[in-house]
Amino acid sequence: MSENTSAIPARVAAPLDARALFATLAGFCASLVAIGLARFAYTPLIPPLIQEHWFTSSQVITLGAANFAGYLVGALLGRPLAAALSNRTALRLLMVIVTAAFFACAYPLSVLWFFMWRFASGVSGGAIMVLVATSILPHIPAARRAFVSGMIFLGLGIGIAASGTIVPRLLKLGLQDTWIGLGAVALILTAVSWFGWPGSNPAPAPQHSETPTVYREGLVMRVLYAQYAANALGLVPVMILLVDYVARGLGRGADIGASYWVLYGLAAIVGPVVCTNVADRIGFGATYRIALLLQAIGVAILALSGDAILIGVSTVILGIFTPAIVPLTLGRIHELVPHDHTEQRVAWSRATIAFALFQALGGYGYSYLFSHFHNNYALIFVCGATALALALLADIVILRKRGLPT
């Protein structure tokens, strides 16, 4: 009992020094710029891009998909890039590229020009997602890693919220000025993060014999990769269709649809911090299962009900978990491989690649189903809910049936 009593204060009292706080701020800036703004700010820019004749509607969709494709490439290139340049140099370079992409998109010289920069923005986002947390968390006391992980990916939630609030206000200045404004924000945050990135990672701690090999290389980790991929399939319909479903599918108009996107963004702000705090208390494995269950319910609500209040509840649930599922998955990896930073980076890279691949496949696949089944919103949401339900069943049924710890 004395051992347990002494362990609790040590966990609670672990401090964050100035260097750790600065690194956390750098990670927050990176997720805000490279994912939050670079991906989600594009959504409210789609109508003006068409209305002001920068591109046709089909070209705008293709240009949006460029970011997804780039994200997959970035997830694949993240670790090799860091190995060649160092984590710090790679992250600085990636922040510069995504910042340059905002400014370049202010000048629609051609479809190829715009596609190239949207693709480059996606590459930076995917590589940053692979590198950002695994470059910072090894320098953070173990008792505070859940908090720091939540703060890093809070930037993703802030970016989602900004896409529904700040971007529409910038658009009043004009489309070109909006891109330049986003570039200015990215430039400032790149400068803020510049000296915050840690240097080389600490040496790996000695392996503990009680850490099961199955965690590191076996079924448990493979199931986690599949769950994270299924999570992409579950969230893509919401990211693509939520506003359109409310506005056109339910006939409530663009303003009401936009208000649900704002609600989605506000929920996204609190998601990472709330979920990582819960996980810090009950464990990342248990929290991840709860997240899958609630997301499946949230997407199923969209498929089965047009009630305004229920859709609002669903929007909040899905807004919370869109950014929060990232630190929850990362935290689960750290639970499964608690003593080896190298294996953590490898596992997180594989998980991010799986997510990126199925995010891209889901985007194109759902677009095909939507167009070939007469804009059937319910079909798309049912597919997303099914993917999330199967991910939860994989965790509960398969692992427990084989007697493996979850």
Q: What is the CATH number of the domain that holds 304?
A: 1.20.1250.20
Q: Tell me the DSSP string of 160-199.
A: HHHHHHHHHHHGGG-HHHHHHHHHHHHHHHHHHHTTTS--
Domain identity same for 146 and 292: no
Domain identity same for 55 and 124: yes
Asked if residue 361 is part of any domain, the answer here is: yes
CA angle (353 as vertex; 349, 357 as ends), nearest 5: 175
Q: Give the domain-ending residue among 200, 229, 254.
A: 200
Domain identity same for 194 and 116: yes
Task: Return the pLDDT at 257.
Answer: 80
Domain count, the chain: 2
Domain identity same for 132 and 272: no
Task: Return the pLDDT at 389.
Answer: 94
CA-based end-to-end distance of the chain: 26
Task: Return the pLDDT at 57.
Answer: 67
Asked if residue 299 is part of any domain, the answer here is: yes
Burial of 33 (0-12, 13-18, 19+ CB in 10 A): buried
Domain identity same for 190 and 292: no
Domain identity same for 277 and 400: yes
Residue 319: closest CA among 385, 268, 269, 262: 268
Using DSSP's 3-state secondary structure scheme, residue 283 falls into coil
Contacts of 404 (CB under 8 A, 6+ apart): 214, 219, 220
Asked if residue 1 is part of any domain, the answer here is: no
* Amino acid present at 281: R
Domain identity same for 271 and 303: yes
Task: Return the pLDDT at 321.
Answer: 92
Q: Domain of 170?
A: 16-200
Domain identity same for 226 and 153: no
Domain identity same for 278 and 401: yes
Asked if residue 353 is part of any domain, the answer here is: yes
Asked if residue 10 is part of any domain, the answer here is: no
- Distance of alpha carbon 258 from alpha carbon 261, whole angstroms: 5
- Distance of alpha carbon 216 from alpha carbon 221, whole angstroms: 6
Q: Give the domain-ending residue among 168, 200, 232.
A: 200
Asked if residue 256 is part of any domain, the answer here is: yes
Enter the tokens of residue 196.
């915050």
Asked if residue 375 is part of any domain, the answer here is: yes
Asked if residue 265 is part of any domain, the answer here is: yes
Domain identity same for 263 and 363: yes
Domain identity same for 227 and 179: no
Distance of CA 373 to the CA centre of its chain: 29
Torsions phi, psi for 199 (to 5 deg)? -80, -140
Task: Return the pLDDT at 405.
Answer: 53
Residue 377: closest CA among 388, 386, 362, 366: 366
Residue 299: closest CA among 378, 392, 393: 378
Q: How confident is the prediction along the chain (406 residues), in pLDDT tens digits per residue?
A: 444 443 334 445 457 778 888 888 999 999 999 988 988 888 778 778 877 888 876 677 778 778 888 888 998 998 899 888 888 999 999 999 999 999 999 998 888 999 999 999 999 999 998 888 888 888 888 777 778 887 888 888 888 888 878 888 888 898 899 999 999 999 999 999 999 888 765 555 544 444 444 444 577 888 899 999 999 999 988 887 787 788 878 888 777 887 888 899 889 888 888 898 898 889 888 899 999 999 999 999 999 988 899 999 999 999 999 989 988 998 898 888 877 777 888 888 899 899 989 988 887 788 788 778 877 888 999 999 999 999 998 888 776 665 555 5
Domain identity same for 133 and 28: yes
- Distance of alpha carbon 44 from alpha carbon 3, whole angstroms: 54
Q: Give the domain-ending residue among 176, 200, 224.
A: 200
